[in-house]
Amino acid sequence: MNTPRLWQLFLLALLLWGGETLRRDLWNPDEVRYAYIAREMAQDQHWLVPFRSGEYYAHKPPYLFWAINLVSHATRMPIGRIPVRLPGLLAGVFVLWTTARLATRWAGARAAWPAVLTLCANYMFWHEIGFARMDGPLLGWTMAALTLLFLNDDQPTLWRPAVAWLCMGMGVLTKGPVGLLTPAGAYIAARLAAGEGRLLKKSHWLWGPFLGLALPGLWLALAWRHGAPPGYFSELLFSQNIQRAAGILGHRQSFAYFFGVAPAHFLPWTLCLPAAILVLRRTPEQRQLLRRLLGWIGFIFVFFSLMTSKRTIYILGLFPALAILVGGTWTELATATDRWARLARGAFLWLLTLAGPAVLIASFLPLPIPGRVLWPTGLAALAGAACLWRTARQPATQPRFYFTAAIALLAVQATIGAFVYPAVNPLKTPGDLLPVVAAQVPADGRLLIYGFNGEIMAYYTQRRGQVLYTPEDLRAAMQREQRGVAVFEKKGYAQWAPEHLVPEWRTGEFASGGRDYVWLAFEPARAAQ
């Protein structure tokens, strides 16, 4: 079996994410937030420091906003579904390609497609790549760096480690110091665990980290030179890294958090891990590969476990290694007769067998979306189960069982993206607000947002947003705008309204992203009161 080519992986990505990308709107919070920031960056020409509704945005470095604007400019598309999602989708394709390259190098060409399909047919990877977040591009830069460093050990050159360190620098520009620490630490741990520490010197650790920090350093210098707002650097470098790692900014979890989360989010392939580990203990070469992969996995697992702040997406970097571990043993897992192998095959069979009827039954329950949109997913699961049962009864001379299981899971995921996610749109977008703003706020006017970051409101209404936090500031903004709309969270409106509401002003309620909001349309004669 040949190593997957880029065009084949692009086709696979199109089948998996095409329907979702074209049919689903941008969702709150992350997708809309990044789209709005990228749009404001282009409007105001603030290329070095991102802004959100006139306030600097120091939560993340600017790479993704640059990438969104680059795609928008190259495709001549306004900032919307495709420009916002394409950087992550391209990164996802690249992750699949590098995973295939490493699988081929370590386990032979027969392991390449199984590793790719294992990774694709994992809901967490599919879900995160399909959503416009920092984590997809970050994983792309991480895998680029790791692949170059691993391949350089076999055929040493100067350019491979140099490009690898530059990729780590791009990772820093994407999501901060983890862009360098994660690939560098995973590489060191993998080599040491496999007894290959002698190879570390080929990666030029004396000058490499300086090269990795060169691009982020250049950006910081330019931002400082061109007058970054006061407080921007302290929040970016201190609050969003040290305080976030310590859990001060939220997402506090115990050390053991990932012990349950990681196996749950690698399902259904978690079922194969015990058998795969046993398979890779048979020969010295396989044991070395196992230790290398476990070093990679172990570093990322322990590194993020030591942080007080934890989110599931933080451990996305260990999934390619897990995919190589499982995919590299597909043939053995499909033919083995030991208890763990039989248990894994049986679990896959019953997982798909039960999933189909469960989804179809759920479609008849009271749901916030039409139940019929679940039917394609349920039917895909049933068809996959039928094919898997037939495959299980045939002589297992090829890894047909897991190929069939992967294709069935991919079909289920594709139907979720093409049918279920678009049906959720009304729950995720502020549709009821749009006609009010279109009628009340001029195209060059501002949408007033009281007490919260309402990027989704400003983005979908195609207006500039202004966030206000005190009644005095809101009243001053109303006097300036004279005619417009203010948006409140329902609880914020309840606190503001008794003192400031004028009876003649019109109000209405709407929901978006699971939260309740209130819009207030104010008129010129009343704005000054």
Residues 215 and 201 grouped into a single domain: yes
In a domain, 337, yes or no: no
In a domain, 72, yes or no: yes
What residues make up the domain containing 296? Answer: 6-328
Query: Residue 528: pLDDT above 60?
Result: no
Mean of pLDDT values over 170-195:
95
Phi then psi for residue 226, to 5 deg, are: -95, 20
Q: Give yes or no for a contact between 467 and 512, defined as CB atoms under 8 angstroms apart.
A: no
Residue type, 393: R
Residues 191 and 267 grouped into a single domain: yes
Q: Give yes or no for a contact between 487 and 519, defined as CB atoms under 8 angstroms apart.
A: yes
- Residues facing 52 on adjacent strands: 55
Burial of 329 (0-12, 13-18, 19+ CB in 10 A): buried
In a domain, 338, yes or no: no
Compute the distance between CA of residue 296 and CA of residue 188 in angstroms, rounded to an integer.
8
Residues 451 and 481 grouped into a single domain: yes
In a domain, 342, yes or no: no
pLDDT of 284: 87
Query: Residue 527: pLDDT above 50?
Result: no
Q: Give yes or no for a contact between 103 and 95, defined as CB atoms under 8 angstroms apart.
A: no
Residues 420 and 511 grouped into a single domain: no
Residues 34 and 129 grouped into a single domain: yes
Distances (CA, A) of 470 to 53, 267, 394, 449, 519: 16, 47, 70, 11, 17
Query: Residue 497: pLDDT above 80?
Result: no
Q: Which residue has the higher pLDDT, 401 or 148?
A: 148
> 368-397, pLDDT tens digit by residue?
889 999 999 999 999 999 998 888 877 655
In a domain, 88, yes or no: yes
Compute the distance between CA of residue 445 and CA of residue 462 in angstroms, rounded to an integer.
10
In a domain, 336, yes or no: no
Nearest by Cα to 57 from 309, 240, 265: 240
Q: Which residue has the higher pLDDT, 203 or 250?
A: 203
Compute the distance between CA of residue 92 and CA of residue 84 in angstroms, rounded to an integer.
14
Q: What is the three-class DSSP state of 518?
A: strand
Distances (CA, A) of 199 to 29, 32, 152: 43, 44, 9
Q: Tally the domains of the chain.
A: 3
pLDDT of 398: 60
In a domain, 333, yes or no: no
Name the DSSP letter for residue 311. Answer: -
- Considering 390, 412, 428, which residue would you say is the last residue of a domain? 428
- Residues facing 488 on adjacent strands: 450, 518
Query: Residue 326: pLDDT above 70?
Result: yes
pLDDT of 437: 92
Query: Residue 128: pLDDT above 50?
Result: yes
- Considering 404, 428, 452, which residue would you say is the last residue of a domain? 428
CATH of the domain at 448: 3.40.190
Compute the distance between CA of residue 388 and CA of residue 411 in angstroms, rounded to an integer.
13
Residues 51 and 68 grouped into a single domain: yes
> 10-46, pLDDT tens digit by residue?
888 888 888 788 888 898 778 999 999 999 999 999 9
Residues 435 and 367 grouped into a single domain: no
- Max avg pLDDT among 136-150, 228-242, 323-337, 447-461: 136-150
> 68-80, pLDDT tens digit by residue?
999 999 999 999 8
Q: Give yes or no for a contact between 208 and 180, defined as CB atoms under 8 angstroms apart.
A: no
Please give the mean pLDDT across all residues of the chain.
89
Q: Give yes or no for a contact between 460 and 432, defined as CB atoms under 8 angstroms apart.
A: no
Compute the distance between CA of residue 507 and CA of residue 518 in angstroms, rounded to an integer.
7
Could you tell me what percent of the chain has a pLDDT over 70? 95
Residues 390 and 462 grouped into a single domain: no
pLDDT of 102: 95
Residues 261 and 397 grouped into a single domain: no
- Max avg pLDDT among 51-60, 159-168, 453-462: 159-168
Q: What does the DSSP assignment read for 242-280?
A: IIHHTTTTS-B--TTHHHHHHHHHTTTGGGGHHHHHHHT
Query: Residue 327: pLDDT above 50?
Result: yes
Residues 135 and 163 grouped into a single domain: yes
Phi then psi for residue 305, to 5 deg, are: -70, -30
- Considering 368, 399, 428, which residue would you say is the last residue of a domain? 428
Residues 407 and 437 grouped into a single domain: no
Residues 166 and 267 grouped into a single domain: yes
Compute the distance between CA of residue 78 and CA of residue 130 in angstroms, rounded to an integer.
19
In a domain, 339, yes or no: no
